[in-house]
Amino acid sequence: MSTIHVSVTVNGERREADVEPRLLLVHLLRDTFGLTGTHIGCDSSNCGACTVHVDGMSAKSCTMLAVQVDGREVRTIEGMADGAALHPLQQAFWDQHGLQCGFCTPGMIMQAAWLLEQNAAPSEGEIREGIAGNLCRCTGYVNIVKAIQQAADTLRAVDAPAEPATAG
Amino acid sequence: MIPPRFDYARPASLDEALQLLASREGEAKVLAGGFSLLPLMKYRLAQPGLLVDIGRVAGLDAIEEVDGELRIGARATHGAIAGHPLVAARYPLIREAAGGIGDPQIRNWGTIGGSCAHADPASDWPAVIQALRGSFVCRSLGRERVVAARGFFLDVFTTGIEPTEVLTQVRVPRPGPRSGGAYVKLERRTGDFATVGVAAQVQLGADGRIAEVGLGLTAVADAPFAAGDAEDALRGALPTAEKFREAGLAAARQARPTEDRHGPVDYKLTMVRVMTERALRLATERAQANG
């Protein structure tokens, strides 16, 4: 069996592996690197549970080969929290009950993170279009949308310089 | 699902890719984004012996205007096309179609060249490029040819591209003043492939009549096609509801849909009529506003 050597930066850390060309990115992450936070749902690029970022762009990792990401940067749900401190999106999904079973959640959060990088203040409609490639089969989407709105507010407050106090 | 075994090569240049295609003629396939090809391989509908990954070949994703036409590098993603300022300013039909393909993740990685070479009858680009009377640049070792989009799509997953060629560029003539386009698509769920899609590009004359029109139909034949009879009925006419109805009927007569989970044949033919009328109405409104 011929293998190809790949070197991938995953959540800031360089990882290496010898892989068969047909190995999918999602299997590289889960089986080779042990990062099982990325889920396999439909395995046919419909459901979005396997969404990760590749070079900053959200991607369905069930429809990408591991060899395609050689030399690239991958970010997964495991790269979101800062130690024990949840990422604002993770905190918002908690606060707003943006999940029930949690199966779609890693993909939802990674897609929402990409969306907020493109558009820091999305409307409800823009959020719904932004997660159109991610399916949730239990909560419906109302609380997921609320969670993304909350995270957008939090992230904007963090990024914005403190407003100068107005006189009077 | 794990795809069947294949050899993999990631050439650094287009010539290297073309050499690989020539040396393994017939069993090699080009891999760009992979969002069309990999699902086919998972289902064993395609079993190439060699994948030639052009993901790192430089110069295949440029979007620029040259000699009065838009030239889109084959590896430009749907998302990059939808978000490109030049496309937004002068090619609204392209922008509308690009922004409606699949979902955001697919638009981040799926490419226009991959989609056109793949030629799924329900994919959006083929009808749009035909409505705009665009063309494709196909390169093989030492040879480059420009092929009209009309006539390029032959059958399900089948185009006029040779096994030793790479589709490198999509070209679309720049629409003039008093022109407008629309791509309307009937989909059961957001992000689905179209049940019926209609691309219309209308060019009005100074007298308000239809000087030229392009109509491309998605998902209602083995290959997306230009509805030539409907175009003939419209050319030179005033853009009236009655004329659009006539065009819708002509388009439906040219359509050859098959029954599937999206619906029976007579339903689809009715939808061809309805969506053709809608696309023409919208394109004409936009053309009138684009004086």
Note the pLDDT tens digit of each residue in A17-60.
999 999 999 999 999 999 999 999 999 899 999 999 999 999 99
d(C-alpha A104, C-alpha A48), whole Å: 7
d(C-alpha B63, C-alpha B81), whole Å: 8
Q: Which residue, among A82, A105, A91, has the nearest Cα to A150 in the 3D structure?
A: A91
Cβ–Cβ of A24/B2 closer than 8 Å?
A: yes
Q: State how far residue A39 is from chain B, nearest Cα, in angstroms.
A: 14
A residues 91-150 lying closer than 8 A (beta carbon) to B: 111, 114-115, 129-130, 132-134
d(C-alpha B183, C-alpha B224), whole Å: 14
Q: Does any CB of chain B come closer than 8 Å to the CB of residue A42? A: no
Q: Does any CB of chain B come closer than 8 Å to the CB of residue A4? A: yes
Domains of chain A: 4-79 (3.10.20.30), 88-159 (1.10.150.120)
Give per-10-residue mean pLDDT for chain B (291 aa).
95 97 95 94 95 96 97 98 96 97 97 97 97 98 97 97 97 96 91 92 98 98 97 98 98 97 96 98 96 77
Check: pTM over 0.90? Answer yes or no.
yes
Q: How many CA atoms lie within 13 A of B86 on its CB side?
A: 14
- The complex's ipTM works out to 0.94
Position of tokens 């022109």?
Answer: B179
Cβ–Cβ of B2/A27 closer than 8 Å?
A: yes
How confident is residue A168, by pLDDT bands cut at 50, 70 and 90? Answer: very low
Q: Which two tokens mark B33?
A: 């984004």
Q: Does any CB of chain A come closer than 8 Å to the CB of residue B50? A: no
Residues 6+ apart with CB under 8 A from B186: B194, B195, B196, B197, B271, B275
